[in-house]
């Protein structure tokens, strides 16, 4: 990978993927794109950026040509809970964007990555230690998009020889950006609320187990998969990934190691709870481990320590900035 375009670069995964790829491959070799401009303090601004609507095929092709890309990482998507509220918008963006980026990869011979999700599973899927190959009958628009996406990627590999690769991400935990509309985002929100308020009201019920992973492990997994020799990849599209299976009470207890007075109660969002219940409790990641060495470094205790420290640092910086502005205003 020498010249990389990343779509959806301002999203939760996209932001950190841009940062890591620029560190590894050079700032000028990674073009970040999104449908809107970066926020004033976004790290994505520190390098090439283009406004790009992935549903605009001609503009996408033009961008690939002018940047002379050899790799396309397609991250632009509408997430699970948001997609349920706007299913037609989700279909148009998620599937229209995917088919356009796959066509770009076919036409310009690009290496291609896009994430799938544990949302690709459904209530008929075995819930414990979910196999790599299993029943996939999701009951959400997001899940349907993801299953279709896995099949499309495999089709483009088999039919046209496009070097497609994808993983089924679990819930991803990050302190760089606050929650963005996913069902598993309760976990990220709980960390932020623990630091800011000492209390959290969860929209996901206790004892609802879902797979999770720290964002750094997720970004490392993308890069490791994309750098792996193609001949070693048997599964290729839709690798199961996870680092831990947790539920809200487990997260509360991990936080209480550092914030003993932290409290948790519940106000269940039935729509997101139903989505969560349709997903596995835990998934089998052995194919990713065997084929390209997937090996996450963070478990719940280590992730919790890093998350709380990072959020505390952000909070102090915010207070310092606010105090400075007030001081300037006085004088």
Query: Which residues have a catalytic role annotated?
Result: 142
Residue 172: helix, strand or coil by DSSP? strand
Which helix (H) or strand (E) segment holds residue 281: the answer is none
| Residue 60 near residue 52 (C-beta atoms within 8 A) | yes
For 193-235, what is the HEC assignment? HHHHCCEEEECCCCCCCEEEEEHHHHHHHHHHHHHCCHHHCCC
Residue 116: partners with Cβ closer than 8 Å, 6 or more residues away? 146, 149, 150, 166, 167, 168, 169, 237, 238
| Residue 60 near residue 101 (C-beta atoms within 8 A) | yes
Residue found under tokens 């539920």: 247
């Amino acid at each position: 990978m020498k010249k990389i375009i990343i779509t959806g670069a301002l999203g939760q995964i996209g932001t950190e993927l841009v940062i890591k790829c620029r560190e590894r491959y050079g700032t000028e070799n990674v073009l970040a794109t999104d449908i809107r401009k970066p926020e004033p303090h976004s790290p994505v601004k520190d390098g090439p950026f283009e406004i790009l609507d992935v549903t605009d095929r001609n503009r996408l092709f033009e961008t690939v040509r002018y940047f002379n890309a050899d790799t396309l990482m397609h991250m632009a998507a509408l997430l699970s809970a948001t997609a349920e509220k706007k299913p037609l918008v989700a279909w148009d963006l998620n599937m229209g964007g995917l088919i356009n980026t796959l066509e770009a990869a076919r036409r310009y011979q690009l290496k291609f990555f896009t994430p799938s999700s544990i949302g690709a599973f459904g209530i008929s899927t075995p819930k414990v230690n979910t196999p790599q190959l299993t029943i996939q009958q999701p009951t959400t628009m997001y899940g349907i998009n993801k299953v279709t996406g896995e099949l499309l990627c495999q089709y483009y590999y088999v039919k046209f020889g496009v070097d497609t690769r994808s993983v089924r991400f679990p819930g991803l935990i990050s302190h760089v950006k606050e929650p963005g509309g996913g069902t598993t985002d309760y976990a990220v929100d709980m960390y932020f609320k623990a630091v800011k308020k000492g209390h959290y009201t969860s929209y996901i019920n206790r004892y609802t187990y879902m797979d999770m992973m720290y964002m750094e492990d997720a970004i490392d997994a993308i890069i490791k998969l994309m750098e792996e020799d193609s001949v070693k990849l048997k599964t290729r599209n839709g690798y199961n990934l996870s680092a831990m299976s947790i539920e809200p009470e487990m997260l509360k207890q991990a936080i209480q190691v550092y914030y003993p007075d932290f409290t948790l109660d519940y106000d269940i969002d039935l729509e997101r709870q139903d989505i969560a219940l349709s997903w596995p409790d835990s998934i089998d990641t052995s194919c990713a481990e065997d084929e390209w060495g997937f090996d996450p470094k963070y478990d719940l205790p280590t992730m919790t320590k890093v998350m709380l420290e990072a959020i505390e640092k952000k909070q102090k910086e915010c207070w310092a900035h606010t105090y400075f502005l007030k001081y300037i205003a006085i004088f």
